[in-house]
């Protein structure tokens, strides 16, 4: 690889319409476990991410969903190269960045930004908001027209904050406002891709709607691609054009949002859809049979053989223990809708719409998807 990466136009279609901005193939991260005394040696590995294939098109929003511990954050950190992959390949804008050095990564770093889950710990409490937002520009030697301070004030306004709050400290803001600061910081370098790792899960539901709306505005109006990580299908449904469902280090189903929601073929996806918050349950829905996932996610140190979901799957058969199901397009599903299951669910379009009961605030999001500049 040459010393510095150049960034040609992204190559190749993702879904026939969009050009691919990011693609990962066989992405793997095994965290070694050391033990023994007096000489420590490797005794095992946490298979946090194990052969993930994923792509994000230019300006596209892809949701990455799954239960706690399934490897979502690790995937995001591998893509942003905060972690070094154990195996696999990461291609950004046609360039292999899998093992690029810090120096080689420099031009790419500004184009791929991350928004973190916790708006309380991700902002330096000793820095003013102005310093927090301008530091990525200074580190990357970017001098915006009109000066850095003017740009910071513009960014504050863009994310729905008062530009006069430039000199305030993070503790003077609410959780939702802090996450807006995190969004402004991510936007400071005009990124092409934002990896948003559960950006609203630490916020109240009413505030979640505002921040999701802000991110959607950013995605649509600025054409920024998103990998939106969430454990809640309701949120990514609103935000993402395509969804990837992860279980224990692997993508088990991926496809267009509507196809995944209307025709989930993987039992785990089906179960996740059934588990959407039940706050809005009323008399009409109270008795409806739902799929409830029982038991915990198995340890990623010793994942089950064959299909990793088999220990919780109500459809598991012998084959599921011996053969890992490949991620493939099942008959009847549209191109790009891939499922990894030996005994997939039948398409259940009608049942799905009834099954999914949304939290009222998230339902309001669906009904009014456009951005409101509300300040919390």
Ligand X SMILES: Nc1ncnc2c1ncn2[C@@H]1O[C@H](COP(=O)(O)OP(=O)(O)OP(=O)(O)O)[C@@H](O)[C@H]1O
**Under rule CB under 6 A, residue 68 binds ligand X:** yes
71 binding partner (options ligand X, ligand SF4, Mg ion, none; Cβ < 5 to 8 Å by kind):
ligand X
Q: Give alpha helix (H) positions in 111-232.
A: 129-139, 148-158, 175-187, 205-222
**Under rule CB under 6 A, residue 247 binds ligand SF4:** no
Distance CA 272, CA 292 (A): 8
- Total binding residues for ligand SF4 by CB under 6 A? 13
Q: CB–CB of 195/112 below 8 Å?
A: yes
Question: Looking at 34-42, 71-79, 183-191, 273-281, which segment touches ligand X (CB under 6 A)?
Answer: 71-79
Distance CA 200, CA 215 (A): 10
Question: Looking at 56-64, 68-76, 84-92, 102-110, which segment touches Mg ion (CB under 5 A)?
Answer: 68-76
**Under rule CB under 5 A, residue 23 binds Mg ion:** no
Q: Which of 123, 196, 212, 307 binds ligand SF4 (CB under 6 A)?
A: 307
22, β-bridge pairs: 56, 92
Distance CA 48, CA 297 (A): 12
**Under rule CB under 5 A, residue 75 binds Mg ion:** no
Phi and psi at residue 267, in whole multiples of 5°? -55, -35
User: Of the two residues 14 and 115, which places its CB atom closer to ligand X in the complex?
Assistant: 115
The DSSP symbol for 340 reads: -
Q: Which two tokens stand for residue 279?
A: 């706050």
**Under rule CB under 6 A, residue 185 binds ligand X:** no
310 binding partner (options ligand SF4, ligand X, Mg ion, none; Cβ < 5 to 8 Å by kind):
ligand SF4
**Under rule CB under 6 A, residue 320 binds ligand SF4:** yes
Binding positions for ligand X, 223-262, rule CB under 6 A: 231
**Under rule CB under 6 A, residue 310 binds ligand SF4:** yes
User: Of the two residues 69 and 191, which places its CB atom closer to ligand X in the complex?
Assistant: 69
Element (H, E) at 352: helix 349-355
Q: CB–CB of 51/228 below 8 Å?
A: no
Q: Which of 5, 234, 244, 316 binds ligand SF4 (CB under 6 A)?
A: 316
**Under rule CB under 6 A, residue 160 binds ligand X:** no
Phi and psi at residue 276, in whole multiples of 5°? -60, 140
49, β-bridge pairs: 29
Phi and psi at residue 38, in whole multiples of 5°? -85, -15
**Nearest Cα residue to 27 out of 82, 65, 74:** 74
Q: Which of 20, 74, 122, 179 binds ligand X (CB under 6 A)?
A: 74
Shortest Cβ 32–ligand X spacing (Å): 8
Q: Which of 20, 47, 73, 113 binds Mg ion (CB under 5 A)?
A: 73
**Under rule CB under 6 A, residue 342 binds ligand SF4:** yes
**Nearest Cα residue to 2 out of 87, 82, 105, 78:** 105
- Total binding residues for ligand X by CB under 6 A? 13
**Under rule CB under 6 A, residue 203 binds ligand SF4:** no
**Under rule CB under 6 A, residue 30 binds ligand X:** no
Q: Which two tokens stand for residue 226?
A: 């998103």
Strands (E), the chain: 20-35, 41-57, 61-65, 87-92, 95-96, 112-115, 193-197, 225-230, 242-247, 250-256, 328-329, 338-339
160 binding partner (options ligand X, Mg ion, ligand SF4, none; Cβ < 5 to 8 Å by kind):
none
263 binding partner (options ligand SF4, ligand X, Mg ion, none; Cβ < 5 to 8 Å by kind):
none
307 binding partner (options ligand X, ligand SF4, Mg ion, none; Cβ < 5 to 8 Å by kind):
ligand SF4
**Nearest Cα residue to 364 out of 210, 242, 178:** 210
Binding positions for ligand X, 37-66, rule CB under 6 A: 46, 48, 66
> Footprint of ligand X on this chain (CB under 6 A)?
31, 46, 48, 66, 68-74, 231, 300
> Footprint of Mg ion on this chain (CB under 5 A)?
73
């Amino acid at each position: 690889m040459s010393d510095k990466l150049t960034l040609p136009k992204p190559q190749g279609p993702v879904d026939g319409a969009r050009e691919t901005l990011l693609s990962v193939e066989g992405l793997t991260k095994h965290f070694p476990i050391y033990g023994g005394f007096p000489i420590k040696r490797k005794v095992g590995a946490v298979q946090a991410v194990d052969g993930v294939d994923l792509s994000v098109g230019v300006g596209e929003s892809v949701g990455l969903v799954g239960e706690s511990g399934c490897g979502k954050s690790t995937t995001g950190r591998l893509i942003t190269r905060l972690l070094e992959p154990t195996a696999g390949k990461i291609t950004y804008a046609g360039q292999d960045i899998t093992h690029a050095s810090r120096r080689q990564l420099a031009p790419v770093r500004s184009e791929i930004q991350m928004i973190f889950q916790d708006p309380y710990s991700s902002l330096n409490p000793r820095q003013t908001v102005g310093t927090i937002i301008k530091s990525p520009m200074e580190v990357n030697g970017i001098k915006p027209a009109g000066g850095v301070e003017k740009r910071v004030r513009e960014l504050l306004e863009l994310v729905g904050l008062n530009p006069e709050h430039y000199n305030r400290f993070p503790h003077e803001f609410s959780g939702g406002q802090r996450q807006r600061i995190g969004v402004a910081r991510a936007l400071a370098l005009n990124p092409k891709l934002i990896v948003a790792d559960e950006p609203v899960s630490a916020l109240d539901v009413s505030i979640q709607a505002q921040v999701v709306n802000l991110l959607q505005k950013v995605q649509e109006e600025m054409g920024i691609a998103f990998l939106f990580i969430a454990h809640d299908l309701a949120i990514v449904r609103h935000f993402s054009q395509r969804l990837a469902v992860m279980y224990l280090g692997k993508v088990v189903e991926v496809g267009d949002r509507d196809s995944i929601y209307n025709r989930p073929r993987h039992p785990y996806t089906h179960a996740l859809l059934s588990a959407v918050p039940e706050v809005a349950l009323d008399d009409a829905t109270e008795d409806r049979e739902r799929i409830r996932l029982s038991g915990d996610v198995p340890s990623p140190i010793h994942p089950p053989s064959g299909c990793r979901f088999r220990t919780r799957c109500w459809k598991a058969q012998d084959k599921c223990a011996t053969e890992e199901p490949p991620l493939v397009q099942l008959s009847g599903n549209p191109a790009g809708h891939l499922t990894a299951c030996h005994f997939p669910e039948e398409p259940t379009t009608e049942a799905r719409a009834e099954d999914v009961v949304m939290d009222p605030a998230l339902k309001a999001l669906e009904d009014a998807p456009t951005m409101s500049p509300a300040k919390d």
